[in-house]
Structure 1
């Protein structure tokens, strides 16, 4: 506590200094119809280059000298609202903004430039509207927020069809993905073809690719902050959605009018039902695959200064196959999933100081079980997982109009079970990894100040400290963060950033197709935490209202990244642990991104291009020379758009499209092939998925990722029609076609008789989905 006393005294001095002869305007900014809060909404003082952004809960605060002011409240996709105030005492004003659907509905005043795009100190950030996600064409007609993000420059899917993303040349495990502030460790449903996030239950999505604020920590490459809906506090409602892949329902409404609300959503796949029925009729086999996810959220307004939230997520995938005849039977099952629970308490300590207290639990687990019985019996089980408990206190402090300060502390306890393997043959039991568990404790503190230095110059200056303890080993990291912007003109700004990052979790990857055979492991005495520093420099230009253009260059250097040794088994034997099978190295990624966006009028969307390079370097591989990283994609072009065909207030129709082109994936061609024996013994069993064969073909790669697959590209189109049936009821049809010109993109290659054979995944796929909302 003694370390934080000077910190607290510093902020109290701000309050004392700026409290004399000044008054504060504060309140919440929310959606007029749904009452959802609008995080990041802007409050600007007319005729002054001053203002503030609402925090993650829609709260804002401005401290000014007495006088007459006009304030402009704005948020992307909403009509600007002006309020005139004679500030002679502390004042609370809560604002509700109305959504605008077409440019004709926007007032003349609202057509001013979005000052936040150039005046904000944020750089390398992207926001995607949930409405945009729901309109985009998708595989199987199921909207997916992560698939939409993949059309932004610098954000790419790790492989076709997968939800896992690579950001600016980093690996998927280097992304901090938060759902209502809670880390989510597995984002894949359906072997990665869908993400675990149900778009019907989400309110906002914000991605940080660079210039990451000090309040975020624990990962190297990016932050994806996803917020769930709060639930309508005024009216009960809901929706039902059906696609060829899954069906979902959402219910929301007040628990007690004007003081509390709830939201519940559920989603489940249909794929297992026809498969199981067909096999039951034609084959002596039972097989199926299904997934589900459940989300729930409730919030209560205790009084004007206190509000509490409780939210939870539960999701699971399950694949199984059973076979039985007169001679033998087998039973194989594989399941994996996430669970999160979070409690949050918002407390307005004063009109300048906002507090949020959080306690959460997050877990991920996967389990595999295989039983075979003929003249012999064989059982194979493997499981792994992690648990994360944390408490945190975060504060937003607004001493005056030139400073917006955030600071906080967090304590987290993590438990890892990276491997638990049971192998039984003819009732002989051999267990590997039993009781192996890694525990870690992380204590963190941060502070950042978003300040206006001069009329043209602004900056966000901050720092984060993390102390990580595991197995008697401590690691301490000081991580400075800085973003700055300089206004060359009102519509043109240059922005720069520097971020030092540390990551204490490692992901050992065995597969690139979204299977949960990956292992989350902790840093130890022999496997050090990953760390990186990132810098960026860019120009941001807004020529007209609704048009934004940016050019952003970046450089990222990474240390202590890990991978499996060449030829090493993914899972450990009795003599070895995972630590014995990994090697440590470094990486580098750099590039430049171009993005042109238009978000007003009948035609909206964006065009993006990224030129980038990502390499890894390990002493034990390629003679210590750098080699292309598997996520290295030199050229990347994306076009995403919507054209509103009509909207008369009752019927609306729109046409959407999404096109992507990028350099092919980096893969490895074997240089040497030879036969080797996969020996299974009591002393050390080679436990991997191919362990049933006694002889395996061994493949040696002299240079990893020495082959570049053909270019990856496809065009998707969609058509959406919505009819408003009454004030609150509507129905929507979405017709979409994935891969219109039937491009057979390579999913992976394999060698057959010294020839490269290509396996492709998705041909042209038409689909239709239906949503009824009330």
Structure 2
């Protein structure tokens, strides 16, 4: 840590003496007044990008400059200035106008991977990029689109869960307007909780996340909601096979404040009620989302944002079994511009995830099981444009975690079931950080930083020590607020880019990440009933050290983009479960079911993207390995992690046939996930028991699928547009394995047969979408 602070001080001291002036301001959409994230601001070789709130700051020497502003889907703008003092330039960019077919149409974010930027392993998506990509039942899904990119793997058939660079699903930090979303799945994982109509920007950091992010080992998915149109009323919506959605936005006070309300609901349960079969019409299966946001301009230097997300799922089977789960988040943010170099964002954030299992809810013998996790978070972030060569980001983050791991409540206090509750757990997770981007030369750019994490588990409650056999050896009692265990972990990071020529560069990165919250699950992907547990006296923080090396090339005058990255991650304090553990609904201390060890993941990722013309799209390929080594599992030898998958290939194409018709398709192939199948069986009192050997030593069958879609523009005027989307999921009807179970053969009980369950074949979809300006 001393090295980093000394290096930072010397860099700032040496370079801050240069004579320079600053051009700063805010970049907005001319049509809606929305601030634009990630717009490029360039003058010659000097360039920067607008931050998450549209603010930019560019240091230039005195003299005449031509400043160019660019952003995806917008007309570029330029400004000529004679710079003799610090200058404020607020810019509005217009939507890109319709182009003739023989002209080049830019349809992807050309700045997703800057050749000069040292930032590695970052993927960016806009809603424009995903609107034509075919998905299950026509529900546009940001998380499923991310699975088509290298290093990001689907958690299974139709599932919105994902794995990044060999990490498990709980090692992904998903934030919506800075609030953590602990379960990002609807309908048991088949849809994500993010309504694309409400989302402005998505950034994914695959392990090499900047220092302002923390708490997970594998990735950060940072989603930003639309602010709301502050110039005119607008409405966007759609009607599909299983859900409808509507977004309303407009000014509260024109140019100074705005609102956004976006809702979505499925109606599968309504069709069930039409059935004459009582076994069906007593079932419920639906979810809803509600995104809200308001913002207020308090003056030239201050802006206030208030945003929230509320989502719920309800799944009930014939009044005998049910499960409800949902997220609620809220974010209050204050932006302040101290001067043309220093920008501040202060956030107060609330996040809550909970689920409830209902068993026979209508009779006295029934019961409910509930669990939840709640965060209260204060975050202060500063961005300081020191000079032409240095841009510093620093701040702190204070989080209070409350975990309600499980509670059983009978419907009737006089029944045969006794109430039982696991003790609530509390913890503080605090961090301070800095990250500096340093332009060392015209060819070499560096980014270095440090995040210092302090995690404190506190009482009240009982905590346990467990021996190697899973037996509790000691029970420790702590009072309310009493410190159970402190963990202090520095998280250094450094990245470098070296420009080989005007069209190619090499990059290197190293980052250490620490994770103090752990998901307890019997499945590979995220389920509603998974439980979060915090580090304590027995469960230690997970730690990863990742090294990355990449080559980046623009081809054919930047029409194509080629990116090749390799990585290696060494993992400490990895968690797995004892053989035979039942952890999902157990109310026994979780410590008795856990084993700990090390892990490693490594791989090669390739992306070839065509960015311009009628035909656009990409080919992504990932070759990877993910392993663990834990005492008492597979004789302490390396074994495959559950999410290990050797090959993963995705081909994505969009073709603009003419101004009205757009064709799109995706083809996906990947080798089977690691799984444990029985290798034999024996009979005990007429009951078959299966024999298992090495964990995760077998494979599910290979998976492949073709999805196609057609989008037809029905009408387009200045004030109204509409379109129809047709699609087919799994167009050639591949019977991909969702699960494989084993049973005795009916004709020969001495023989075991495997039974494969497949979910989706030839799933058509149709949806109608509209926009009112």
What TM-score, normalized by structure 1, do the two folds share? Answer: 0.90
Check conservation: 2:112, 2:122, Cα contact below 8 A.
Answer: no
Q: How many aligned positions are there?
A: 736
- Classify the secondary structure of the residue corresponding to 1:521: strand
- Classify the secondary structure of the residue corresponding to 2:201: strand
Residue 399 of structure 2 is matched in structure 1 by 412
Residue 690 of structure 1 is matched in structure 2 by none
1:298 equivalent to 2:289? Answer no
Residue 671 of structure 2 is matched in structure 1 by 663
Residue 471 of structure 2 is matched in structure 1 by none
Task: Name which of 508, 522, 539 aligns with 1:527.
Answer: 539
**Would the alpha carbon gap of residues 147 and 216 (structure 1) be closer, same or farther in structure 2, given more than 3 Å must change?**
same
Unmatched segments (≥5 aa) in structure 2: 459-483, 745-751
Q: CA shift at 1:35, angstroms?
A: 2.5
Check conservation: 1:739, 1:763, Cα contact below 8 A.
Answer: yes
Q: CA shift at 1:596, angstroms?
A: 0.7
Task: Report the Cα distance in structure 1 between the residues aligned to 2:103 and 2:318, rounded to whole angstroms.
Answer: 63
1:628 equivalent to 2:625? Answer no
Task: Report the Cα distance in structure 2 between the residues aligned to 1:138 and 1:191, rounded to whole angstroms.
Answer: 17
Check conservation: 1:443, 1:466, Cα contact below 8 A.
Answer: yes
Residue 553 of structure 1 is matched in structure 2 by 566
Report Cα offsets for 1:405-443 as digits up to 9, x if no partner.
100011110000112124589713423325x01000011
**Would the alpha carbon gap of residues 591 and 9 (structure 1) be closer, same or farther in structure 2, given more than 3 Å must change?**
closer
Q: CA shift at 1:63, angstroms?
A: 2.6
1:171 equivalent to 2:168? Answer yes
Residue 70 of structure 2 is matched in structure 1 by 74
**Would the alpha carbon gap of residues 710 and 611 (structure 1) be closer, same or farther in structure 2, given more than 3 Å must change?**
same
Task: Report the Cα distance in structure 2 between the residues aligned to 1:757 and 1:771, rounded to whole angstroms.
Answer: 41
Q: CA shift at 1:674, angstroms?
A: 5.7
Moved more, 96-105 or 66-75: 96-105
- Classify the secondary structure of the residue corresponding to 2:149: coil
- Classify the secondary structure of the residue corresponding to 1:235: coil
Moved more, 164-173 or 125-134: 125-134
1:355 equivalent to 2:351? Answer no
Task: Report the Cα distance in structure 2 between the residues aligned to 1:87 and 1:370, rounded to whole angstroms.
Answer: 71
Task: Report the Cα distance in structure 2 between the residues aligned to 1:35 and 1:62, rounded to whole angstroms.
Answer: 22
1:206 equivalent to 2:209? Answer no
Residue 91 of structure 1 is matched in structure 2 by 87
Q: CA shift at 1:283, angstroms?
A: 4.5
Report Cα offsets for 1:228-287 as digits up to 9, x if no partner.
001111110112211111111100011110001111001100111111221x55548611
Check conservation: 1:52, 1:404, Cα contact below 8 A.
Answer: no
Task: Report the Cα distance in structure 2 between the residues aligned to 1:440 and 1:428, rounded to whole angstroms.
Answer: 35
- Classify the secondary structure of the residue corresponding to 1:117: coil
Residue 271 of structure 1 is matched in structure 2 by 268
- Classify the secondary structure of the residue corresponding to 2:738: strand
Report Cα offsets for 1:203-231 as digits up to 9, x if no partner.
11111113211111100001111110011
Task: Report the Cα distance in structure 2 between the residues aligned to 1:195 and 1:113, rounded to whole angstroms.
Answer: 27
Residue 511 of structure 2 is matched in structure 1 by 499
Task: Name which of 529, 554, 574 aligns with 1:542.
Answer: 554
Task: Report the Cα distance in structure 2 between the residues aligned to 1:117 and 1:260, rounded to whole angstroms.
Answer: 33
**Would the alpha carbon gap of residues 462 and 696 (structure 1) be closer, same or farther in structure 2, given more than 3 Å must change?**
farther
Task: Report the Cα distance in structure 2 between the residues aligned to 1:113 and 1:167, rounded to whole angstroms.
Answer: 23
Task: Name which of 421, 430, 437 aligns with 1:443.
Answer: 430
Residue 395 of structure 1 is matched in structure 2 by 382
Residue 684 of structure 1 is matched in structure 2 by none
Residue 469 of structure 2 is matched in structure 1 by none
Residue 579 of structure 2 is matched in structure 1 by 566
Q: How does 1:56-135 map to 2 (within 5 A)?
A: 56-100=52-96, 117-135=114-132
Instruction: Provide the aligned C-alpha RMSD in A.
Output: 2.8
Q: CA shift at 1:322, angstroms?
A: 3.2
What TM-score, normalized by structure 2, do the two folds share? Answer: 0.90
Task: Report the Cα distance in structure 1 between the residues aligned to 2:571 and 2:351, rounded to whole angstroms.
Answer: 27
**Would the alpha carbon gap of residues 109 and 80 (structure 1) be closer, same or farther in structure 2, given more than 3 Å must change?**
farther
Check conservation: 1:305, 1:348, Cα contact below 8 A.
Answer: yes
**Would the alpha carbon gap of residues 552 and 13 (structure 1) be closer, same or farther in structure 2, given more than 3 Å must change?**
closer
Q: CA shift at 1:393, angstroms?
A: 0.7
Check conservation: 2:104, 2:613, Cα contact below 8 A.
Answer: no
1:368 equivalent to 2:357? Answer yes
- Classify the secondary structure of the residue corresponding to 1:131: helix
1:732 equivalent to 2:723? Answer yes
Residue 430 of structure 1 is matched in structure 2 by 418
Task: Report the Cα distance in structure 1 between the residues aligned to 2:765 and 2:490, rounded to whole angstroms.
Answer: 50
**Would the alpha carbon gap of residues 116 and 530 (structure 1) be closer, same or farther in structure 2, given more than 3 Å must change?**
closer
Q: CA shift at 1:141, angstroms?
A: 0.9
**Would the alpha carbon gap of residues 675 and 349 (structure 1) be closer, same or farther in structure 2, given more than 3 Å must change?**
farther
Check conservation: 2:539, 2:591, Cα contact below 8 A.
Answer: yes
Check conservation: 1:294, 1:315, Cα contact below 8 A.
Answer: yes
- Classify the secondary structure of the residue corresponding to 1:386: strand
Task: Report the Cα distance in structure 2 between the residues aligned to 1:755 and 1:288, rounded to whole angstroms.
Answer: 34
Task: Report the Cα distance in structure 1 between the residues aligned to 2:278 and 2:37, rounded to whole angstroms.
Answer: 55
Report Cα offsets for 1:656-695 as digits up to 9, x if no partner.
1111101112211124556789xxxxxxxxxxxxxxxxx9
- Classify the secondary structure of the residue corresponding to 1:542: strand
Task: Report the Cα distance in structure 2 between the residues aligned to 1:113 and 1:381, rounded to whole angstroms.
Answer: 51
Q: CA shift at 1:88, angstroms?
A: 1.3
1:741 equivalent to 2:732? Answer yes
- Classify the secondary structure of the residue corresponding to 1:378: coil
1:53 equivalent to 2:30? Answer no
Task: Name which of 512, 520, 528 aligns with 1:508.
Answer: 520
Check conservation: 2:683, 2:689, Cα contact below 8 A.
Answer: yes
**Would the alpha carbon gap of residues 20 and 106 (structure 1) be closer, same or farther in structure 2, given more than 3 Å must change?**
farther
Q: CA shift at 1:296, angstroms?
A: 0.1
Residue 605 of structure 1 is matched in structure 2 by 617
Task: Report the Cα distance in structure 1 between the residues aligned to 2:7 and 2:134, rounded to whole angstroms.
Answer: 54
- Classify the secondary structure of the residue corresponding to 2:338: strand
Residue 689 of structure 1 is matched in structure 2 by none
- Classify the secondary structure of the residue corresponding to 2:365: strand
**Would the alpha carbon gap of residues 8 and 334 (structure 1) be closer, same or farther in structure 2, given more than 3 Å must change?**
farther
Check conservation: 1:343, 1:360, Cα contact below 8 A.
Answer: yes
Check conservation: 1:394, 1:408, Cα contact below 8 A.
Answer: yes
Task: Report the Cα distance in structure 2 between the residues aligned to 1:697 and 1:518, rounded to whole angstroms.
Answer: 29
1:336 equivalent to 2:325? Answer yes
Q: CA shift at 1:50, angstroms?
A: 2.0
1:24 equivalent to 2:22? Answer yes
**Would the alpha carbon gap of residues 119 and 25 (structure 1) be closer, same or farther in structure 2, given more than 3 Å must change?**
same
Task: Report the Cα distance in structure 2 between the residues aligned to 1:152 and 1:110, rounded to whole angstroms.
Answer: 19
Check conservation: 1:272, 1:288, Cα contact below 8 A.
Answer: yes
- Classify the secondary structure of the residue corresponding to 2:499: strand
Report Cα offsets for 1:38-90 as digits up to 9, x if no partner.
222221112xx222222211211123332111112222343332211111122
- Classify the secondary structure of the residue corresponding to 2:350: strand
**Would the alpha carbon gap of residues 143 and 110 (structure 1) be closer, same or farther in structure 2, given more than 3 Å must change?**
closer
**Would the alpha carbon gap of residues 124 and 372 (structure 1) be closer, same or farther in structure 2, given more than 3 Å must change?**
closer
Q: CA shift at 1:564, angstroms?
A: 2.3
Check conservation: 2:623, 2:646, Cα contact below 8 A.
Answer: yes
Report Cα offsets for 1:342-361 as digits up to 9, x if no partner.
00000001111000000000
**Would the alpha carbon gap of residues 143 and 761 (structure 1) be closer, same or farther in structure 2, given more than 3 Å must change?**
same
- Classify the secondary structure of the residue corresponding to 2:274: helix
